[in-house]
Amino acid sequence: MTEARPRVAVVVFPGSNDDRDAALALEALGAEPVLHWHANSELPDVGAVVLPGGFSYGDYLRAGAIARFSPAMQAVANFAADGGYVLGICNGFQVLCEAGLLPGALRPNESLSFICDDVPLRVERAGVAFLTRCEAGQRLSIPIKHGEGCYFADDELLAELDEAGQTVLRYEENPNGSVDSIAGVVNASGNVMGLMPHPEHAVDPLIGSGSTDGALILEALVDRARERLFAAA
Amino acid sequence: MKATVLVRPKPGILDPQGKAVEDSLKHLGFRVDGARVGRVVDLEVEAADPEQARAEVERMCAELLANPLIESYEIELAEGT
């Protein structure tokens, strides 16, 4: 029996550039991706939303700061408030932080260099909706490519996030100056996750270093989308 | 009415741009001990009086111009405009 393909929206902002890669990866992993233009305030009936990487609105002012006001983001905020699963990758992570859907902020890399590299990550917590296909402590190899991926939360916020188990992914070797080597966080309810590494670039063994660890994260998202859309059926 | 907003990285926040500027200044032989790089936004605000203009710009800062987690801001209203 073939499993039904859940629809997953990939929001396209002016300046997004990983939207098609995300859509291809989602399709390869059993979803039906729907590219959703940022000016469209009506989100179609989808089981999950991906905010892709890129440089939305040219990263003017601060990365993600302008995208947050797009009509699509209002719909995404409502979708998240309703318990919908939202994954922000790289620029998508920056947008979610600026929109207040995730805690913290992303700043220019400590080195001021744009970094494009495969980096080892550690899964800090496996109970998270986006990491159900991983184990706690598991090492993942997923590429990063960003100039502003230095995660910041002040000491108080950081303690809160750790206490609540929201700091879910860490770099094994800090590439960009992120506080506490944080690579990815979830919101308090666990239905919104942001990460700087690009899981969509680590799905096909023919591409990049050959790691398919990114599929573990995206497939979990597809699982959640399937549950959300078809659970009642 | 003209208003200027100065946005700065908060103290303690890593400011690699400031560090690069500081290092370059030292390289040129200047004696500096610290540099921080922020942003200036010059605005032309429609408002009935300075109080209203200031309140309006405060809201702009809170909603868009600064990220309160990492940045502080200062508002200057031009006199006699």
User: Residue A232's pLDDT band (boundaries 50, 70, 90)?
Assistant: low
What was the pLDDT predicted at A229? 94
For residue A147, give Cα distances in angstroms to A54, A90, A107, A112, B42.
11, 10, 9, 7, 26
Interface contact flag, A105 B69, Cβ < 8 Å: yes
**Chain B interface includes A152 (CB < 8 A):** yes
- The Cα B44–Cα A70 span in angstroms is 24
Beta bridge partners of A185: A167, A194
Domain holding B65, by residue range, is: 2-77
Indicate which residue of A38, A200, A201, A219 is catalytic: A200
Interface contact flag, B67 A110, Cβ < 8 Å: no
Instruction: With a cut of 80, say whether residue A225 has pLDDT above it.
Output: yes
CATH code of B10's domain:
3.30.1280.10
User: How do residues B20-60 score in pLDDT, each as one tens digit?
Assistant: 999 999 999 999 999 999 999 999 999 999 999 999 999 99
What was the pLDDT predicted at A75? 97
Interface contact flag, B69 A111, Cβ < 8 Å: no
- Return the CATH architecture of domain A7-230: 3-Layer(aba) Sandwich (3.40)
User: Residue A208's pLDDT band (boundaries 50, 70, 90)?
Assistant: confident
Contacts of A152 in chain B (CB under 8 A): 13-14, 69-70
User: Residue B14's pLDDT band (boundaries 50, 70, 90)?
Assistant: confident
DSSP for A186-216, written as a single string: E-TTSSEEEESS-GGGSS-TTSTTS--THHH
Indicate which residue of A90, A97, A134, A150 is catalytic: A90
Query: Is residue A171 within 8 Å of A151, Cβ to Cβ?
Result: no
Looking at the structure of chain B, the number of domains it has is: 1
The ipTM value here is 0.82
Domain ranges of chain A: 7-230
Q: Is A98 an annotated catalytic residue?
A: no
**Chain A interface includes B64 (CB < 8 A):** yes
**Chain B interface includes A147 (CB < 8 A):** no
